[in-house]
Amino acid sequence: MVQLFALGTCLLSLVCHALSTPVRIADPSRRPLVIWHGLGDSYASPGMLEFMQLIKDMHSGIFIHSVYLKEDLEEDQKAGFFGHVNEQLEIVAEQLSNVTELSGGFDAIGFSQGGQFLRAYVERYNTPPVNNLITFGSQHMGVSDLPMCSRWDIFCQLARRAARGGVYTDWAQHNLVQAQYYRDPAKLEIYLQSNTFLADINNEVSESHNATYSNNLVSLNALVLVLFSGDKTVVPKESSWFGSYAPANSSSTTDEKTIVPMRLQPLYTHDWIGLRSLDESGRVILETCDGEHMQLTDECWKPLVQRFVGEVLDEYVPSETMLRVQD
């Protein structure tokens, strides 16, 4: 930030008064950013605060909003495991529309499950609209296994235990967040009938294709999908690129599961959510980062945040009067 002081001689008292006060050259006006944290994290954890500061160091003057469901950090973390995603999204959509700095639109970064939630925001709400959406290690085609829990993650263990009762039960589909993006290729029929979130935002239920979803997704400037090459948390890791395991094949002799890549997915080939249109116009960017799930090295996030976040919208140009005053 540069501070300039008007030190010129003032002849006209009115102008003099205005110019004798410090004139701060503002940072350029940049497109703001919204971040949605991942599972096990909260909107203002030390890691999130550090990441936001690093982005502010890169893009001076950028406004960043970190999505929260509860103001209390522990409650916010818990909401990543327990709740109904559709209701959470409604709250977040209202929250984002309330933030005046975001009213002209924003770029968005979703960490892990925050990525598919932000995509759902784009498809269902998108007011204010998202420009670029970057998702890191997200589960766009769901997971075929629940994430493993670290020993000290009590919410994760509780959620995992609760899910043993069945991920497709009505209770799980309204109370366990991970169940709402659990997609078992061996049980696609049950998934399509029972799932309350992922099947809907992926427009996989044929009777209820929603054209708003594809129209909104296609309106993105870019959709950047980041896969972690050594991801053992997201099963399969290709879900970050809209990949999934192929439906189980009983006549197959091997246990090796094959991956259906994005461009062979029915939702892509039939363009149910606009993904194909977006891709064919060069606006789906598939990126790989080395390492385990959410191992955000500088080499991973910096080039992407440099390129897709913080675009200068309104360069500050000093007026002639001020330039003269500096002489």
Judged by beta carbon, residue 51 or residue 125, the one nearer ligand NAG is: 125
Residue 302 burial class via C-beta count within 10 angstroms: exposed 0-12, middle 13-18, buried 19 and up: middle
Quickly list H helices, the chain: 13-20, 46-58, 73-78, 85-98, 113-124, 154-163, 170-175, 188-194, 198-201, 211-218, 266-269, 275-280, 298-308, 320-326
Q: Which stretch binds ligand NAG (CB under 6 A): 61-69, 145-153, 163-171, 245-253?
A: 245-253
Q: Is 251 an interacting residue with respect to ligand NAG (CB under 6 A)?
A: yes
Single out the residue of 53, 60, 206, 212 in contact with ligand NAG (rule: CB under 6 A). 212
Nearest C-alpha neighbor of 232 from the set 114, 150, 161: 150
Bridge pairing between strands 130-136 and 106-111: parallel
Least distance to ligand NAG from the beta carbon of 185, Å?
11
How crowded is the C-beta side of 233, counted as CA atoms within 13 Å?
21
Active site residues: 112, 231, 293
Shortest CB 259 distance to ligand NAG, Å: 12
- Residues that bind ligand NAG (rule: CB under 6 A) add up to a total of 12
Residue 159's contacts (CB-CB under 8 Å, 6 or more residues apart) are 81, 82, 146, 176, 177, 178
- Strand-pair category, 130-136 with 259-260: unpaired
Q: Which stretch binds ligand NAG (CB under 6 A): 78-86, 90-98, 159-167, 288-296?
A: 90-98
Taking CB under 6 A as the rule, does residue 73 contact ligand NAG? Answer: no
127 counts as binding ligand NAG under rule CB under 6 A: no
Q: Which two tokens stand for residue 23?
A: 């004139």
Dist. CA 168–CA 194, nearest whole Å: 6
Q: Which is nearer to ligand NAG, 49 or 264 (CB)?
A: 264
> Which one among 127, 249, 288, 321 touches ligand NAG, defined by CB under 6 A?
249
Give the DSSP letter of residue 293.
T
At 132 the three-state DSSP class reads strand
Using rule CB under 6 A, residue 206 touches ligand NAG: no
Rule CB under 6 A: choose which of 229, 252, 269, 297 binds ligand NAG: 252
Give the nearer residue to ligand NAG in terms of CB position, either 110 or 185: 185
91 binds ligand NAG (CB under 6 A): yes
Q: Taking contact as CB under 6 A, which single stretch among the options 28-36, 53-61, 129-137, 244-252 is the one that binds ligand NAG?
A: 244-252
**Cβ of 224: how many Cβ atoms within 10 Å?**
22
Q: Residue 4: which H helix or E strand, with range?
A: strand 2-4
Q: DSSP characters for 160-176?
A: HHHHTT-TTSHHHHHHB
The reply on whether position 277 binds ligand NAG by CB under 6 A is: no
Q: Is 94 in the site for ligand NAG (CB under 6 A)?
A: yes
Among 157, 169, 175, 210, binds ligand NAG (CB under 6 A): 210
Q: Which of 3, 13, 21, 98 binds ligand NAG (CB under 6 A)?
A: 98
Stretch that binds ligand NAG, among 26-34, 94-102, 104-112, 275-283 (CB under 6 A): 94-102
Q: List contacts with ligand NAG (CB under 6 A).
A: 91, 94-95, 98, 124, 208, 210, 212, 246, 249, 251-252
